[in-house]
Structure 1
Amino acid sequence: MPNYELKAEQINALSEQVSNASCVVVGDYRGMTADQMDNLRKLSRSENVHIKILKNTLAKRALNGTQFSCLDDVLKGPVMLALAFEEPGSAAKLIKRVMKDVDVLSVKGLSLGDDLLGPEQLTAIAELPNREQALSMLLGNLKAPTTKLAQTLQQTYTKLAYALNAYNDTKAN
């Protein structure tokens, strides 16, 4: 198989993965040891994050035509793509956690869709709640007014009972 056909297959496969992703983080991995990279890959498998290291030209072609085409500007030098599929913040959480241990790993940019976000936004994206946490927060907020109403009504009946009990005690004496 000629080299250009192989590259075309790689581009199509990566483009399909990127179009299914919910978040892409572009990082600079220069200076990472093989052990650090292995650790990153192991952690990424457990978090359902795909790590891709490839040439910029292939990455640009794969990102072209997807919602992450805005990342073309940060594809300079050696880059690593971290693709999150189920939870948008999972790639950012993984990279942030690894950056604590690996000083040479840095973020060039990230995207949740059509907008390019800078490296300073990594923490904000990493702190996004996952789907279960967001749903539980929503249910808690929906449940709060009815709970407060029930507590208020209960307190009214309790105060009435105390008042009647006190009145009954004064009549008994």
Structure 2
Amino acid sequence: MSEKAIAAKQEVVNEIKEKIENAKSITIVGFDKMDVEEITDLRSKFRQGNSEYKVYKNTMMRFAFQELGFDELTKELKGSNAIIFSNEDSVTGPKVAVDYTKEGDLQKEKLLIKAGLVDGVVQSSDQMIAIASLPNKETLYSMLANVTQAPIRALAGDLNNTIAKIALALDAVRAKKEESEQAA
């Protein structure tokens, strides 16, 4: 093999490694039974979710995974494979893939979620499917804010009720005093 060909292949491996390092998560999917139209449709769904669906040769992916120390992922590289790079949050890419498999019975067989990588930890197919069911980061932040605000809201409500009770008691004392003054 010529040096030029080796350099071109190393460039592809470096591209894969860079994309893996910059992604929040990656998902390896098999697409053996998909036609070009289905893949094009799927790519647009990933783009809408700020994820990237990219097909590389298995040998190039294998070299990239090995160089990054993710040898476990090389076992999944049989057949036609693609990598989904989730660039904004860890959930989006896997969620789009899982949603696609739920669109119809045929899609379940056509797109196969094989494995993934989230925060530097290798995940199995089942774990990636579970990750896809998680809410995205913004929703989690919102849920956390609501949980942390709940005690403050409860305290404010309790203080408000206490003040209202004091105001009612003072009003009752005032009314009783006026009543006793009028009687006298």
Name the TM-score, length of structure 2 as normaliser.
0.82
TM superposition shift of 1:40: 0.7
* Cα distance change of structure 1 residues 162 and 124 upon mapping to structure 2, 3 Å threshold: farther
Q: Is the 8 A contact 2:95 2:133 kept in 1?
A: yes
Of 113, 123, 145, the residue aligned with 1:117 is 123
Describe how 1:19-30 pairs up with structure 2 within 5 A. Answer: 19-30=21-32
Residue 91 of structure 1 aligns with which residue? 93
Of 118, 139, 143, the residue aligned with 2:149 is 143
* Cα distance change of structure 1 residues 54 and 60 upon mapping to structure 2, 3 Å threshold: same
* More displaced 10-residue stretch of structure 1: 41-50 or 132-141: 132-141
Runs (4+) off by over 6 Å: none
* More displaced 10-residue stretch of structure 1: 41-50 or 131-140: 131-140
TM superposition shift of 1:31: 0.7
* Cα distance change of structure 1 residues 90 and 19 upon mapping to structure 2, 3 Å threshold: same
Once residues 155 and 163 of structure 2 are traced to their aligned partners in structure 1, the CA distance between those partners, rounded to angstroms, is 13
Q: Is the 8 A contact 2:32 2:79 kept in 1?
A: no
Once residues 174 and 46 of structure 2 are traced to their aligned partners in structure 1, the CA distance between those partners, rounded to angstroms, is 70
TM superposition shift of 1:155: 0.8
Q: Is the 8 A contact 1:70 1:114 kept in 2?
A: no
SS in 2 for 1:64: helix
TM superposition shift of 1:168: 4.9
* More displaced 10-residue stretch of structure 1: 62-71 or 17-26: 62-71
Of 131, 141, 146, the residue aligned with 2:137 is 131
Q: Identity across aligned pairs (percent)?
A: 28
SS in 1 for 2:134: coil
Q: Is the 8 A contact 1:68 1:113 kept in 2?
A: no
Residue 46 of structure 1 aligns with which residue? 48
* Cα distance change of structure 1 residues 67 and 130 upon mapping to structure 2, 3 Å threshold: farther
SS in 2 for 1:3: helix
* Cα distance change of structure 1 residues 68 and 43 upon mapping to structure 2, 3 Å threshold: farther
Once residues 117 and 150 of structure 1 are traced to their aligned partners in structure 2, the CA distance between those partners, rounded to angstroms, is 44
Gaps of 5+ in 2: none
Larger radius of gyration: 2
Residue 155 of structure 1 aligns with which residue? 161
TM superposition shift of 1:12: 1.1
Once residues 92 and 72 of structure 2 are traced to their aligned partners in structure 1, the CA distance between those partners, rounded to angstroms, is 20
Once residues 40 and 67 of structure 1 are traced to their aligned partners in structure 2, the CA distance between those partners, rounded to angstroms, is 29
Q: Is the 8 A contact 1:63 1:69 kept in 2?
A: yes
Query: Aligned Cα RMSD in Å?
Result: 2.2
Once residues 96 and 125 of structure 1 are traced to their aligned partners in structure 2, the CA distance between those partners, rounded to angstroms, is 10
Residue 100 of structure 1 aligns with which residue? 102
TM superposition shift of 1:170: 5.7
Name the TM-score, length of structure 1 as normaliser.
0.87
